Amino acid sequence: MARFEDLDVWRRSSRLCVDIYQGLTACKDFSFKDQITRSCLSIPSNIAEGFERGSDKDSNKFFYYAKGSSGELRTQIYIGIEIGYISKETGISWKNEAEHISKMLSALIKSRSA
């Protein structure tokens, strides 16, 4: 692959980010919305930055950052559901996608560590 845009994990994480931004347009809690959108935006951003790095070791560092942001995002989704900012159905969908992205990142890291 020559471009990060060709990575399925980047495309999926970007799509999830757009869905979250659009799904929270009515949220009046700026702090919550800011935090959750930062964590979701961090995932594809770190994937892109990692892909553009010169070595697999350098790349994997950023892929691990993206994986960490996926865990942060899942935590915020759980809390958003509990406090009523995110519907349960939407939240479970977002959480499942974030989990899948995390698994994809693990596979990407493993493939670049071999």
With beta carbons less than 8 A apart as the criterion, state whether 27 and 7 touch. no
What's the pLDDT at 114? 72
What's the pLDDT at 4? 96
With beta carbons less than 8 A apart as the criterion, state whether 105 and 63 touch. yes
With beta carbons less than 8 A apart as the criterion, state whether 48 and 9 touch. no
Over the stretch 37-67, which tens digit does the pLDDT of each residue have? 999 999 999 999 999 998 999 999 999 999 9
DSSP-based three-state secondary structure for 44: helix
pLDDT in tens, the chain (114 residues): 789 999 999 999 999 999 999 999 999 999 999 999 999 999 999 999 999 998 999 999 999 999 999 999 999 999 999 999 999 999 999 999 999 999 999 999 999 987
* b/e per residue 18-44 (b: at least 16 CB within 10 A): eebeebbeeeeeeebbebbbebbbbbb
DSSP-based three-state secondary structure for 3: coil
What's the pLDDT at 54? 81
